[in-house]
């Protein structure tokens, strides 16, 4: 279930940050900020749903999901396909996420 929470959190964070990007970089209306702030609040709440004993570990594992989700946003929303370096970097990060989430823990 953690993967679902991570993906939903990533979408909320990216959407929220994009609202600020649109306002400040794309000259969109400041009205973009209202849903952006709500989306960032949803992101914070969603990330707390992840099954993890420690916040730092949950955040570290989230990093790889965020990177991969950001590249999907780049491709699907901004119509710019990721290049091979983007994809390779994201794959490497997701391997790191898997190691963090799936490693056997002792004491």
| Residue 71 tokens, joined | 């590249």
Tokens encoding 6 = 């991570």
Give the span between the Cα atoms of 60 and 80, in whole angstroms: 27
pLDDT, residue 69, reads 96
The per-residue pLDDT for 34 is: 98
Q: 56-71 pLDDT, tens per residue? A: 999 999 999 999 999 9
pLDDT given for residue 107 in this prediction: 64
**Contacts of 47-53 spanning 24+ positions with Cβ under 8 A:** 47/5, 47/6, 47/9, 49/5, 50/2, 50/5, 50/6, 50/9, 51/1, 51/2, 52/2, 53/105
Low-confidence ranges of the chain (pLDDT < 50): none
pTM (predicted TM-score)? 0.87
pLDDT at 2: 86
Q: Which pair of structure tokens corresponds to residue 47?
A: 């990330």
């Amino acid at each position: 279930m953690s993967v679902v929470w991570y993906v939903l959190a990533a979408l909320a964070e990216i959407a929220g940050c994009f609202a600020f990007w649109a306002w400040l970089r794309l000259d969109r209306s400041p009205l973009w900020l209202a849903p952006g702030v709500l989306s960032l609040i949803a992101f914070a709440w969603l990330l707390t749903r992840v099954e993890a004993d420690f916040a730092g570990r949950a955040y570290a594992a989230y990093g790889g999901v965020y990177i991969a989700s950001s590249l999907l946003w780049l491709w699907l929303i901004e119509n710019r396909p990721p290049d091979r370096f983007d994809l390779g970097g994201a794959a490497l990060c997701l391997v790191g996420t898997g190691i963090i989430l799936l490693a056997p823990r002792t004491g």
